[in-house]
Amino acid sequence: MDLKNTNWAELDFSYKNTPYRFHAHWKDGKWDEGRLVTENKLSIDESAPCLHYGQQCFEGMKAQRSKDGRIWLFRPIENAKRFQQSARRLMMPEVPIELFMKGVKEAVKANADYVPPYGYGASLYIRPLLIGIGENLGVRPAPEYLFIVFVCPVGPYFKQGFKPISLKVETEYDRAAPNGIGNVKAGGNYSASLWPLKIAREEGFDEVVYLDPKEHKYFEETGASNVFFVFEGNVIATPKSNSILNSITRGTIVQVAREEFGYTVEERRIHVDEMSKFVEAGACGTAAVITPIGSMGYKGKIYKFYADGKEAGPVTRKLYDYITALQVGDVEDKWGWLEEVT
Ligand code: PLP
Ligand code: COI
Place 161 in a pLDDT band, splitting at 50, 70 and 90: confident
User: pLDDT tens-digit profile of 253-297?
Assistant: 999 999 999 999 999 999 999 999 999 999 999 999 999 999 999
**Residue from 62, 105, 185, 318 carrying the catalytic annotation:** 185
Would you tell me how many other CB atoms lie within 10 Å of the CB of residue 80?
A: 22
State the distance from the centre of ligand 2 to the C-alpha of 264, rounded, in angstroms. Answer: 27
pLDDT digits (tens, 9 = 90+) for 77-136: 999 999 999 999 999 999 999 999 999 999 999 999 999 999 999 999 999 999 999 999
Distance 225 CA to ligand 1 centre (A): 4
Handedness of CA 82, 252, 187, 116 (dihedral sign): negative
How far apart (Å, rounded) are the C-alpha atoms in residues 127 and 104?
A: 9
Q: Check if 293 has its Cβ closer than 6 Å to any atom of ligand 2.
A: no
- Which residue among 286, 289, 290, 323 has the greatest number of ligand 2 atoms within 8 angstroms of its CB, and so is best to mutate? 286
* pLDDT (mean) for 217-246: 98
- Asked if residue 94 has its Cβ within 6 Å of ligand 1, the reply is no
pLDDT digits (tens, 9 = 90+) for 28-87: 999 999 999 999 999 999 999 999 999 999 999 999 999 999 999 999 999 999 999 999
pLDDT computed for residue 160 by the predictor: 81
**Are 153 and 7 spatial neighbours (Cβ–Cβ below 8 Å)?**
no
In angstroms, the CA 185 to CA 181 distance is: 8
Q: Can 185 be counted among the known catalytic residues?
A: yes
pTM: 0.97
Please compute the mean of the pLDDT values over residues 234-262 and round it to a whole number.
98
Interval 163-212: pLDDT, tens: 999 999 999 999 999 999 999 999 999 999 999 999 999 999 999 999 99
Q: How far is the CA of 285 from the centre of ligand 2 (A)?
A: 7
Taking the centre of ligand 2 as the mean of its atom positions, its distance from the CA of residue 233, in whole angstroms, is 31
